[in-house]
């Protein structure tokens, strides 16, 4: 896929891997929307790239619907989605203060796994309606798992579970969306 001139959405793009991805896409000629819960950071990166910065919560349906729509309003429906939003706080299952707080576990699952799926489903729905490119493609979705999906360390139960879930959904989602010309893959840095 030649990304020059194509609309792209990157989550978690105010810093880290998401920011580096957004910068690489912009350098390749893509028109990038920088999405992050850190709206100020998203807008700062966007200003630097001549892009659009949007504050949002990947785990919140209404927030992501609004963010995907704002990105589409700014530069058309995205043909590229890269899900980089994620958190990785370390906590032992049973630590010095007793069992891990279940809300901390749920928060990691909500952002890393449910947030990835939430963004994926919304972007895919918009991509389905696009005309196919000359190559037959309508879009590409790249999710971010982690080596921790396969071999997590002590304190990474929540993170590993969330990234394992991202990995596990890749093949069924890729199979489902292939008929629309939407490629789905997951990287595991």
Q: How far apart are CA 189 and CA 187, in angstroms?
A: 6
* Secondary structure string (H, E, C) spanning 50-100: CCEEEECCCCCHHHHHHHHHHHHHHHCCCCEEEECCCCCCCCCCEECCEEC
Q: Which of 82, 111, 112, 159 is catalytic?
A: 159
Backbone phi, then psi, for 37, in 5-degree steps? -70, -20
Give the number of residues written for the chain. Answer: 189
Q: Would you say 100 and 64 are in contact if contact means Cβ atoms under 8 Å apart?
A: no
Look up 159 and say whether it is catalytic: yes
Beta-carbon neighbour count of residue 183 at 10 Å? 15
- Distance (Å) of CA 58 to CA 11, 43, 61: 8, 17, 7
Q: 115-128 vs 61-75: helix axis angle to the nearest 10?
A: 40
Residue numbers annotated as active site: 159
């Amino acid at each position: 896929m030649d990304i020059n001139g194509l609309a792209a959405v990157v989550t978690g793009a105010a810093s880290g891997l998401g920011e580096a991805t957004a910068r690489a896409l912009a350098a390749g000629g893509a028109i990038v929307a920088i999405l992050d819960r850190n709206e100020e950071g998203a807008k700062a990166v966007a200003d630097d790239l001549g892009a659009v910065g949007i504050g949002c919560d990947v785990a919140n349906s209404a927030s992501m619907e609004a963010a995907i729509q704002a990105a589409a309003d700014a530069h058309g429906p995205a043909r590229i989605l890269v899900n980089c939003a994620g958190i990785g706080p370390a906590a032992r299952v049973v630590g010095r203060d007793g069992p891990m707080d279940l809300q901390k576990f749920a928060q990691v699952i909500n952002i890393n796994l449910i947030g990835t799926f939430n963004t994926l489903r919304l972007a895919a729905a918009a991509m389905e309606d696009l005309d196919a490119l000359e190559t037959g493609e309508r879009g590409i979705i790249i999710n971010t798992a982690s080596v921790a999906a396969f071999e997590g360390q002590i304190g990474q139960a929540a993170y590993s579970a969330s990234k394992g879930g991202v990995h596990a959904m890749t093949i069924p989602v890729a199979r489902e969306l292939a008929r629309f010309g939407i490629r789905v893959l997951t990287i595991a840095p």
